[in-house]
Amino acid sequence: MQVTIDGPAGVGKTSVGRKIANRFSLAFIQSGKLYRALAYAKIHDLDPDSLKLNPGDATEPELIICGRTLGKDLDSEAIGEEASKLAKEGETRERVNSKIAQIAGEKDVLVEGRDIGTKVLPNADLKIYLDASIRERARRRKNQRETELSVKEIEARLRKRDERDQKRKLAPLKPAEDAVIIDTTSMSEEDVVERLSHLTENIT
Ligand code: C5P
């Protein structure tokens, strides 16, 4: 089974996606983490070819680069911005997509990102596109991560990132034609999880 969740930064793809993946025993893949790992490699001058997505038995595959397991190091806004710049390059996108396709060929997956329903898994069983106002997304980011930045500053960064992700030539952020589009601006996380659970139940 393949479920995809796409949408802009800060909309809640990760928190909601993780809950749905756990509930339905799907491997949970955050494609943004792969772009972030490649940004980390660039910043630390590490070989991008050494990137490994190790499925193991856990629901969330491990990300390893040059023997280092990456975790919280990938969460900063600076890494996110660098990732979004790198994500414009075809070579980077192919590197990421082939790793996702490999796991999706072996396991039932929930993959979240920007182009999963449109490009990476176009035949997925269920495609979701989550949206929310930029102010609300900035608020969610502020609550989610330890950051000195104000909501306004986060909002400015998200706006820049959205623009770059939506306007790039390759695999821009947009809903797939057959995606279920959900505006989550005034929904609680629980509401979104329930809605997605209902949709997922109906394909199993
Ligand atoms: O989702 P996250 O914020 O971790 O993603 C970091 C960046 O990686 C995004 O801003 C986007 O530019 C890029 N990305 C992408 N395609 C995906 C997932 C992420 O271009 N499927």
Residues 117-156: tens digit of each pLDDT = 999 999 999 999 999 999 999 999 998 877 788 999 999 9
Q: Give the count of alpha carbons within 13 A of 153, CB side only.
A: 7
Amino acid identity, position 172: P
For atom 5 of ligand 1, the residue with the nearest CA is 32
pLDDT band at 59 (very low <50, low <70, confident <90, very high): confident
Q: Is the dihedral of CA 55, 100, 143, 154 positive or negative?
A: positive
Amino acid identity, position 63: L
Q: Is 84 in the pocket of ligand 1 (CB under 6 A)?
A: yes
State the Cα–Cα distance between residues 178 and 101, nearest whole angstrom.
20
The model's pTM: 0.94
The verdict on residue 8 lying in a domain is yes
The verdict on residue 39 lying in a domain is yes
The verdict on residue 170 lying in a domain is yes
Q: What size, in residues, is the chain?
A: 204
Confidence at residue 145, expressed as pLDDT on a 0 to 100 scale: 74
Q: How far is the CA of 85 from the centre of ligand 1 (A)?
A: 9
Confidence at residue 204, expressed as pLDDT on a 0 to 100 scale: 60
Confidence at residue 148, expressed as pLDDT on a 0 to 100 scale: 85
Q: Is 193 in the pocket of ligand 1 (CB under 6 A)?
A: no
Q: How far is the CA of 106 from the centre of ligand 1 (A)?
A: 23
Predicted confidence (pLDDT) per residue in 180-192, tens digit: 999 999 999 999 9
Q: Among the atoms of ligand 1, which is closest to the Cα of residue 80?
A: 6
Q: How far is the CA of 8 from the centre of ligand 1 (A)?
A: 8
Domains held by the chain: number: 1
Q: What is the CATH number of the domain that holds 47?
A: 3.40.50.300
Residue 97 belongs to domain spanning:
2-197
The verdict on residue 204 lying in a domain is no
